Structure 1
Amino acid sequence: MFKDDLRILLVEDHPFQLRATQYLLESYGFTQLTTTDSAEGALHQMLGAVQPFDILLCDQCLPDLPGIELVELASHRGMIRQAILLSSLTPIELDGLERMAHKHGLPLLGYLIKPLKQSEFRNLLTLASL
């Protein structure tokens, strides 16, 4: 099971999607939320954090670095515990990314199709080992 006080880092480059997803997460009861609009901003937030983020919720199509590469970088540096990709790519494309992540031992719980839905998000969190 999961807890609502998870430390979540939300990375989304589209301003509307960032605000909408932040609002949804807060309405779901998640209060430990840090947001940024780029991979560079995410790395800055992670480097400044006292402890690893529980969940990196990351858009796959960031302009400065693909989300899966950010997951890999953050994971190898111990800056996150688990990750979820958030994308509007097709499920076939996202399934391929998920298989690749698991093959490389990345802590990817899965992916969510935009817009974020509470039930799907919470279902993925039940897989988390936090």
Structure 2
Amino acid sequence: MDDPANKAPAPRIRVLLLDDDHFMLELLADMLADIGAAAGAAVSFEVRAESDAKRALASLASDAPALLICDLSMPDMDGIEFMQAAAAAGFGGGVMLLSGMDSGVRKAAERLAKAHGLNVLGAFKKPISAQELQAALAPLVAAYSPGQENSYNLSPLSGK
């Protein structure tokens, strides 16, 4: 019989959510909690939600996430500027871009982020569905699951 006291805790995947819409931040955090629960406690998500791009950028250095989910359209510093600054700061985690803008804008942002050396998992239309989010995160969840090496090689995905 397995002794729960000897069981290693589920790996925690750090995620930084960046969006100026507080409802979207709550929705994404809830979706991530559901995805973690659906993974059968194999992984969990440690979520930090930010509505201020400058604070989010400052946190990249001190509390580097494995995943950044970023809106493209924000006041003060838009998602493109944020991606450029994150790349310049040496951010090495996965990046998912979200936007209500048309697919051409999302594709252009995705290409630009990749050109800056970021590991872009895809550019998705807002609001992203729970199924799309789960599919996009499947390689990351698998890489962090017990028995897997923690050097994930995520293939790019694109939202429609």
Q: Could you tell me the TM-score, scaled by structure 1's length?
A: 0.81
Is this contact kept in 1: 2:91–2:118, CA < 8 A? no
**Which residue of 2 is the match for residue 25 of structure 1?**
32
State the Cα distance separating 1:80 from its structure 2 match.
4.2
For CA contacts below 8 A with separation 6 or more, give which structure has more relative contact order. 1
Any gaps of 5 or more consecutive residues in structure 1? none
Is this contact kept in 1: 2:66–2:94, CA < 8 A? yes
Distance 1:4 1:24, change over 3 A: farther
1:13 equivalent among 20, 29, 37: 20
Deviates more, 1:118-127 or 1:17-26: 118-127
**Which residue of 1 is the match for residue 83 of structure 2?**
71
2:106 equivalent among 87, 94, 97: 94
Amino acid at match of 2:122: G
Question: If you compute each CA radius of gyration, which structure gives the higher value, 1 or 2?
Answer: 2
Partner Cα distance (2:24, 2:75) in 1 = 15
**Which residue of 2 is the match for residue 129 of structure 1?**
153
2:143 is the counterpart of 1:103:
no
2:56 is the counterpart of 1:42:
yes
Tell me the alpha carbon deviations over residues 46-97 of structure 1, each in whole angstroms, 9 at most, x when there is no partner. Answer: 2332xx2111101111112121221221122124412111111111211121
Deviates more, 1:113-122 or 1:8-17: 113-122
Root-mean-square deviation (CA), in Å? 2.3
State the Cα distance separating 1:4 from its structure 2 match.
7.0
Partner Cα distance (1:116, 1:4) in 2 = 25
Is this contact kept in 2: 1:75–1:107, CA < 8 A? no
The aligned length equals 126
Any gaps of 5 or more consecutive residues in structure 2? 1-9, 37-43, 141-151, 155-160
Partner Cα distance (2:92, 2:28) in 1 = 19
Partner Cα distance (1:104, 1:46) in 2 = 16
Deviates more, 1:18-27 or 1:6-15: 18-27
**Which residue of 2 is the match for residue 56 of structure 1?**
68
